[in-house]
A and B are shown apart, each in its own frame.
Chain A
Amino acid sequence: MFYREAGDFKTSYKDDNQTFPIRLDRAGYWVALAVAFLIVPFMVNDYWVNAIFAPFFIYAIAALGLNILTGYAGQVSLGTGGFMAVGAYACYKLMVAFPEVNIVFHVLISGGITAVVGVAFGLPSLRIKGFYLAVATLASQFFLVWLFNKVPWFYNYSASGQINAPERSVFGVVVTGPHTEAWAKYLICLIFLVALAWIARNLTRGMMGRKWMGIRDMDIAAEIIGVNPLMAKMTAFAASSFFVGVAGALFFSVYLGAAEAGESFGITKSFLILFMIIIGGLGSIFGSFAGAAFMVLMPVLLKNVLVGMMGWPTDLAAHLEFMIVGGLIVFFLIVEPHGLAQLWRLTKDKLRLWPFPH
């Protein structure tokens, strides 16, 4: 009744091509942004930011990155954790080497460095396809983590082998280090997320995105109609790694504050982000958000219910969490292989007709 396209006349190509063609969607988008930027920062405290918002925003960035590679370009990667580690260690080295430069630039440059590394590890994708590629990306995961553990230069020869984020500020507001205010942490992650999501959305609906999807759907056919597979795959790896690198840099500098490669960026992280995009929906920007939110919220919720309310031991709750995550993945793949994003699409289609049956 309220959610419909009738009466919303488009008089120019620009109107016709906009991201949210339906008026209510547009309004919802602006309201969500306004709430996120103008209201929530005044209400959050440390617990909410550290347990929910910061991990959600950062994982959403990483999920966007992996979704570009896996969902749009069809190249399955199990090396996300390794690439996040590249972003984190690059950011650390830059922060220590150039203290006077703004942290925002450090994070972006870390993304750029990760993109270069990603392209290097993506090169075999030209020859190796499907499962073979998925396993080949494991090489990057294990090799990179090993590298950051074993070469002391990366962690500046610190005795613990850890990297610690020094205190840095943006426009006079401290955003890294132990003295960060909750709202500053929240806002810096949110700004990166919104900017990157905007870029991802426009990349994937433009020429680049169409090339990626062509490669995903059938690479030989795409090549025949004039898509250069080398360029398409490499740009997908570069864009994806850039996002993942930024996520890794933020994860280390803003969220964790201290990190160790094997522990923070291990193989489990790769799988976690892969699950986010499966549950959220492959090849969907909204899906990346939904999946990240789901995978961040579910453990918090389970822990609160099982440990907090029912008094179960934590290890038992952790086992149950494994079972639920695994069960849900299988369940989603069986019932709705396109994830939460597809459920949302179906809901919107229903809403358009409501309250009329046809």
Chain B
Amino acid sequence: MSEQLLFAAEVTLNGLMAGVLYALVALGFVLIFKASGIFNYAQGVMALFAAMTLVGIQQGQIPFSHLINAIFGTEIHHFPWHVPSIIAIIAAAGVMVGFAWIVERYILKHLVGQPDIILFMATIGLAYFMEGFGDMMWGSELKTLDVGLPQGLNETVLNVTDKLFGYGFFIDNLDIVAAVVASLLVAALTIFSQYSKQGRALRAVADDHSAALSVGISLRFIWVLVWSIAGFVALVAGIMWGAKSGVQFSLSLIALKALPVLMLGGFTSIPGAIIGGLIIGVGEQLFEFAIGPLIGGATQNWFAYVLALIFLVFRPQGLFGEKIIERV
């Protein structure tokens, strides 16, 4: 094989891995959208908040220490302990469940029956609130997240491909872990929604709110449940992205990247989110590789959106979305 082609193959592979990470964020969106019809803009900030909470708990940071210091003039920063990763992850998941409950109790409950666009804007407000809240609670500096995931170049892939093609592929261990975790997560979610009682209730709600209510499914419980699951997915996404590029504000911007993924895959389809993520991941890497240098580079900023835009003009419901039927 020619050098160029091998290089393109490597770029594609890396694109696939990045796509998995996009898909992870997109998954959280789809879950909430299916169950409650809410387009949750705050998903990215949830990932950021979850990752911040995880780091904060792990390192024994005192919540709101900056605020306390500013008001009382004290100098406190950390508790004198470090929490093991696994306990910190569980605690962070617990925080996300609590967060889901608060969102349902104080926001969603009051907005039932409002037009979709109002709910969407409420989640934008929520995103802003959480951004400020997270920064205030844990401080806004760049944090490194380390929960013991393998990092760095994967030697095996490098050696095997070197033997096969005479050209070693550079693939990050973390990306492989992310791909495995993402597939496990999707499998777990599928099993949960197909075979458990709550999962069936969840699908019923997604199908028809009022019909689900009439057979005795508690909407409010389902909403808390689905926001908790989305919070958990956000935590996983936050861990992966945080381990890759550090926990910082730009993490919440990957949520924006997940939007074209969703549009491409369709808002209501879990496989759509995965496949959309892979298409966007590969597409933007290849585009940057092939055409980027000709037109100034950094095309990743907009390629995904323009691709989704052009695609939607031809198929407005996305790849796997339900057909939109409009009646007067």
Chain A residues near B (Cβ < 8 Å): 76, 124, 127-132, 134-136, 138-139, 141-143, 145-146, 149-151, 218, 220-221, 224, 267, 271, 274-275, 278, 311-313, 315-316, 318-330, 333-334, 337
Contact = CB atoms under 8 A, between A and B. Distances in A.
Given A131-B116, A333-B122, A326 B312 contact: no
Given A135-B262, A146-B298, A322 B328 contact: no
Interface stretch (B145-153, B191-199, B208-216, B301-309): B301-309
Given A313-B70, A326-B128, A132 B312 contact: yes
Contact of B117 (A130, A141, A145): A130
B174 interface: no
Given A132-B263, A327-B129, A124 B313 contact: yes
A323 B133 contact: yes
Contact of A136 (B107, B110, B133, B308): B308
Contacts of A124: 309, 312-313
B326 interface: yes
Contacts of A321: 132
B291 to A, nearest CB: 13
Interface of A, secondary structure class, is helix
Interface in B229-266: 256, 259-260, 262-263
Interface of B: 39, 66-67, 70, 107, 110-111, 114, 116-118, 120-122, 124-133, 135-136, 140, 256, 259-260, 262-263, 267, 295-299, 301-302, 305-306, 308-309, 312-313, 316, 318, 324, 326-328
A145 B128 CA distance: 22
10 contacts: A127-B313, A130-B116, A136-B312, A139-B306, A142-B305, A221-B328, A322-B128, A322-B132, A322-B133, A326-B128
B295 A131 contact: no
Contacts, number: 145
Contact of B140 (A224, A319, A323): A319
A330 B328 CA distance: 31
Nearest to B315: A127
A307 to B, nearest CB: 11
Given A139-B306, A316-B66, A316-B67, A329 B135 contact: no
A127 B318 CA distance: 12
A275 to B, nearest CB: 8
A145 B124 CA distance: 22
B305 to A, nearest CB: 4
Contacts of B107: 330, 334
Contact of A330 (B70, B126, B312, B327): B126
Residue from A132, A220, A321, A325 whose CB has the most chain B CB atoms within 10 Å = A132
A136 B307 CA distance: 10
Contacts of A143: 302, 305-306
Nearest to B258: A135
Contacts of A311: 70
A124 to B, nearest CB: 5
Contacts of A136: 263, 305, 308-309, 312
Contact of B256 (A138, A224, A322): A138
Contacts of B133: 319, 322-323
A153 B298 CA distance: 18
A138 B259 contact: yes
A225 B297 CA distance: 48
A267 B107 CA distance: 25
Contacts of B308: 135-136, 139
A295 to B, nearest CB: 12
Contacts of B66: 313, 316
Given A76-B117, A143-B306, A333-B111, A316 B263 contact: no
A271 B126 CA distance: 13
B299 A146 contact: yes
Q: Indicate the member of A76, A328, A329 with the most B CB atoms within 10 Å.
A: A329
A224 B328 contact: yes
Contacts of A271: 124
Given A150-B297, A274-B121, A333-B125, 14 more contacts: A128-B309, A131-B116, A145-B301, A220-B328, A312-B70, A313-B70, A316-B136, A321-B132, A322-B128, A323-B129, A323-B132, A329-B122, A329-B124, A329-B128
A318 B132 CA distance: 8
A131 B120 contact: yes
A326 B129 contact: yes
Contacts of A134: 120
B301 A326 contact: no
B288 to A, nearest CB: 12
Contact of B127 (A141, A267, A326): A326
A323 B136 contact: yes
B140 A322 contact: no
B256 A128 contact: no
A160 to B, nearest CB: 17
Contacts of B296: 150-151
Nearest to A317: B70
Given A146-B298, A267-B256, A320 B132 contact: yes
Contacts of B114: 333, 337
Contact of B121 (A132, A312, A329): A329
A325 B301 CA distance: 27
Contacts of B117: 76, 130
Contacts of B297: 150
Nearest to B314: A127
A351 to B, nearest CB: 28
B313 to A, nearest CB: 5
A99 to B, nearest CB: 29
B128 A325 contact: yes
B118 A326 contact: no
B313 A128 contact: yes
Given A220-B326, A319-B140, A326 B313 contact: no
